[in-house]
Amino acid sequence: MKKRLIIAITGASGMSYAERLLKALLEQEHDVELIVSENASDLLKFEIGLKDSQTLHQFLKLKYGNKIEKGKLKTYSNQNLAAPPSSGTHSHDGMVIIPCSMKTLSAVAVGSSRSLIERAADVCLKESRKLILVTRETPLSRIHLENMLRVTDAGGKIMPCDPGFYIRPKKIEDLVDFIAGKVLNLLGIEHRLFKPWGEIRTEQ
Structural domain of residue 183, as residue ranges? 4-202
- The answer for 13, left when phi > 0, alpha when psi is -120 to 50, beta otherwise, is beta
Instruction: Identify whether 139 is preceded by a cis peptide bond (ω within 30 of 0).
Output: yes
Which pLDDT value is given to residue 197?
84
* d(C-alpha 145, C-alpha 136), whole Å: 12
pLDDT in the model for residue 195: 86
Domain count, the chain: 1
Q: Give the model's pLDDT for residue 67.
A: 75
What share of residues in the chain are helix, strand, coil (percent, to 5)?
45, 15, 40
pLDDT at residue 66 in the model: 78
Query: Residue 71 sits in a domain of what CATH number?
Result: 3.40.50.1950
Start-to-end CA distance of the chain, whole Å, equals: 34
Phi first, then psi: give them for residue 5, nearest 5 degrees: -130, 145
Whether residue 201 contacts residue 166, with contact meaning beta carbons closer than 8 Å, is answered with: no
Q: In this predicted structure, what is the pLDDT of residue 178? A: 97
In eight-state DSSP terms, residue 111 is: T
- To the nearest 10 degrees (0 to 180), the angle between helices 15-27 and 56-64 is 70
What strands lie across the sheet with 4-9, from one edge to the other? 72-77, 31-36, 4-9, 95-100, 131-135, 157-158
3-state secondary structure of 138: coil
- Give the pLDDT of the chain (204 residues) as one tens digit per residue: 899 999 999 999 999 999 999 999 999 999 999 999 999 999 999 999 999 889 998 999 899 887 787 779 999 999 999 999 999 999 999 999 999 999 999 999 999 999 999 999 999 999 999 999 999 999 999 999 999 999 999 999 999 999 999 999 999 999 999 999 999 999 999 999 998 887 776 665
Bridge partners of 97? 8, 133
